[in-house]
Amino acid sequence: MPPVRLWRGTTQQVCGLWPLSQSAEAPMIGAPLGAMIGGSGMVCGDHITWFKQGLITSPSALVLGLNGYGKSSLVRRVMTYHAYSGTHTMVLGDIKPDYVDLVRALGGQVIEIGRDGEGINPLDAGNVGDAAARLRAAGLDQAAADVLYQAHERRKTMLFSLIQISRGSAPTNLEELVVDEALRVMDIDSSRGQATLGDLLGIIRNAPASVMEVAMARGSRSRYQERTEDLEIALMALLRGRMGSIFSAPTTTPMRIDRSVVFDVSALEQANKDLQAAVLLSTWSYGFATIALSQSLADAGLLARRSYNLVMDELWRILGTSSGMVDRINSLTRLNRTVGCGQMMITHSLTDFTALASERDRAQARTFAEKANMLYLGAISDREIDALRGVKAFNDEEIATLMSWNASAAWDRWAKAPGPLPGLGKMMLKTSGAPGLAFQVRFAPDEEVLSDTSRRWGVNRGRVR
Find, among 291, 274, 374, the residue nearest to 325 by Cα: 274
Q: With contact defined as beta carbons under 8 Å apart, do 134 and 128 qualify? A: no
pLDDT at 41 over 90: no
pTM: 0.82
Look at residue 53 in the predicted model and tell me its pLDDT: 92
For the ranges 53-57, 89-93, 199-203, 240-244, the lowest mean pLDDT is seen at 240-244
Domains, the chain, with CATH or none: 21-107+302-465 (3.40.50.300)
What's the pLDDT at 249? 79
- Compute the Cα dihedral for 361, 363, 367, 369 and give only its sign: positive
Residue 34 confidence (pLDDT) above 60: yes
pLDDT of residue 457: 42
pLDDT, tens only, 52-95:
999 998 899 999 998 888 899 999 999 999 999 999 999 988 88
Residue 101: its pLDDT value, please? 93
Is residue 211's pLDDT more than 80? yes
Task: Average the pLDDT over 172-186 and give the result.
Answer: 94
What does the DSSP 8-state code read for residue 14?
S
22 pLDDT more than 80: no
The predicted pLDDT at position 235 comes to 94
User: CA-to-CA distance for 274 and 251, rounded, in angstroms?
Assistant: 22
Alpha carbon 164 to chain centroid, angstroms: 20
430 - beta bridge partners?
A: 375
With H, G, I as helix, E, B as strand and everything else as coil, classify residue 400. helix
Rounded to an integer, what distance in angstroms lies between the CA atom of residue 113 and that of residue 318? Answer: 17
Cα-Cα-Cα-Cα dihedral sign, residues 407, 408, 411, 415? positive
Of residues 288 and 375, more confidently modeled: 375
Phi/psi for 169 (5° steps) reads: -145, 150
| Residue 1 clears pLDDT 50, i.e. is over it | no
